[in-house]
């Protein structure tokens, strides 16, 4: 289970350190591999799935009828753009240059633990998303929650 928010620095080679709190779990539960792909719902972020969880998602997405434009877009954005990455000896992964460029990650990023996956946001997009969420009327969605 991944949770929490961590400020991340991306080095000149596109590497980022996986927070130490998660390294053992990624090695043990994920076979030392994560899959990076685009977030299909929000611009400015990537999903990082444990390999086994990714395989389940990939299979579900690939079973969708390809004749529907929305399904095809989802297949392209999730499956077509997926890249398997492995933690190196220093606990780092390399975020592909094409992924970094597409969502605007340069040096500063934010890694969010979202339960069964991580989300990697450009620092700017994350701040904008937080500000927007705080401004938006969340309405009935929160009525039944004890926050």
Q: What is the pLDDT of residues 16-44, one digit of tens each?
A: 999 999 999 999 888 899 999 999 988 88
Q: Convert the pLDDT of each residue in 131-145 to its tens digit.
A: 877 656 565 565 566
CA–CA separation, 18 and 117 (whole Å): 13
Query: Which domains can be identified in the chain, with CATH numbers?
Result: 2-142 (3.40.1550.20)
H or E element in which residue 132 lies = helix 123-135
H or E element in which residue 35 lies = strand 33-38
Q: What is the pTM of this model?
A: 0.87
Closest to 87 (Cα-Cα) out of 137, 147, 22, 134:
22
46 has which bridge partners? Answer: 38, 120
CA–CA separation, 127 and 110 (whole Å): 9
């Amino acid at each position: 289970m991944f949770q929490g928010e961590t400020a991340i620095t991306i080095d000149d080679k596109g590497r980022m350190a996986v927070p130490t709190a998660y390294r053992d779990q990624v090695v043990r539960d994920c076979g030392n591999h994560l899959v990076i792909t685009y977030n299909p719902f929000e611009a400015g972020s990537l999903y990082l799935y444990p390999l086994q969880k990714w395989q389940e998602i990939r299979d579900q997405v690939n079973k969708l009828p390809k004749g529907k434009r929305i399904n095809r877009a989802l297949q392209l954005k999730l499956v077509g753009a997926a890249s398997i990455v492995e933690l190196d000896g220093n606990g780092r992964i390399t975020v592909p240059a094409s992924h970094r460029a597409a969502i605007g990650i340069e040096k500063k990023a934010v890694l969010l633990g979202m339960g069964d996956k991580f989300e990697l946001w450009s620092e700017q997009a994350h701040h904008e998303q937080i500000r927007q969420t705080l401004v938006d009327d969340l309405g009935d969605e929160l009525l039944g929650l004890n926050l």
